[in-house]
Each structure stands twice: as C-alpha cells, then as structure tokens.
C-alpha cells in the first residue's frame, strides 16, 4: 500500500515537471516564431523598432525576455535577431529550476518579398 502511494506520488511529480517543461518549450517556440515573423515582415523597418516589436511580442506571450537581451542587426539584405532569457521552471511545488534559452532567427529581403507575394495570393 505505501509502495503504491510512493509510486503514485513520484508519477505525479514527473507528470507535473513534464507539463511545466512543455509549457516553457511551447512559449519558447511561439516567441521564436513571432520573432521570425517580425524580422520577415520588417525587411525595411529600422532594427531598433524590430527589437521593440520582438520585446512586445515576448511580453504578450509571458516570456521574461528583456529588451536589452534582444540584438537585431542587418547586413545588406539579411536581418538577424538574437535573444536570450532565463525562464524559471517549477519542477516540483516549491522547487524552481532556471532554464537558459536562446534563439536566433534571420530573414533576407528575398524571403520578405516572397512572403508578401504569398500573402497577396491568399487574399
């Protein structure tokens, strides 16, 4: 009986941790995708403004990404955005583990034109 209770408690703790990690992973992929969309759409937008938009998007998703941790640069027709942040993950109730996450996205002016053309076809 006690062995079953212990096994059940361990299984629930593992399930809890897996769900929490899954939530963090989902937010990471959502913010990375949002950053890519902003970079693609902003081929002619100043890089400072792109960084601000990425920051606002991350905040809307509940990602603890600070503006100072976002670097957007443009070299000719290639725009790159990098970001890094630490997300605390509650592995167990009362036990938090910090997870360091980084992303890097890039888009060329040609990609931006192709996306705009595709958007025009679907309307």
- pLDDT digits 0-9 by tens, 69-89: 999 999 988 999 999 999 999
What is the percentage of the chain residues whose pLDDT exceeds 90? 58
Domain residue ranges in the chain: 2-122
Amino acid 25: pLDDT: 94
Is residue 23 helix, strand or coil?
Answer: helix
Q: Report the chain's mean pLDDT, rounded to a whole number.
A: 90
Edge-to-edge strand order for the sheet containing 78-92?
Answer: 70-75, 78-92, 95-108
Degrees to nearest 5, angle at CA 110 with 109 and 114: 120
| Banded pLDDT at 24 (limits 50, 70, 90) | very high
94/20 Cα distance (integer angstroms): 13
pLDDT exceeds cutoff 90 at 104: yes
Q: Please state the rounded mean pLDDT for residues 110-119.
A: 76
Residues 25-61 pLDDT 10s: 999 999 999 999 999 988 888 999 999 999 999 999 9
């Amino acid at each position: 009986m006690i062995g079953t209770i212990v096994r059940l408690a361990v299984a629930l703790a593992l399930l809890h941790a897996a769900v929490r990690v899954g939530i963090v992973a989902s937010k990471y992929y959502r913010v990375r995708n949002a950053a890519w969309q902003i970079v693609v759409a902003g081929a002619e937008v100043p890089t400072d403004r792109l960084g601000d938009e990425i920051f606002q998007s991350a905040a809307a998703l509940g990602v603890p990404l600070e503006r100072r941790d976002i670097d957007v640069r443009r070299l000719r027709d290639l725009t790159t955005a990098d970001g890094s942040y630490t997300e605390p993950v509650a592995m167990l109730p009362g036990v938090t583990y910090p997870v360091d996450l980084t992303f890097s996205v890039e888009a060329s002016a040609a990609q931006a034109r192709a996306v705009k053309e595709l958007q025009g076809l679907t309307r």
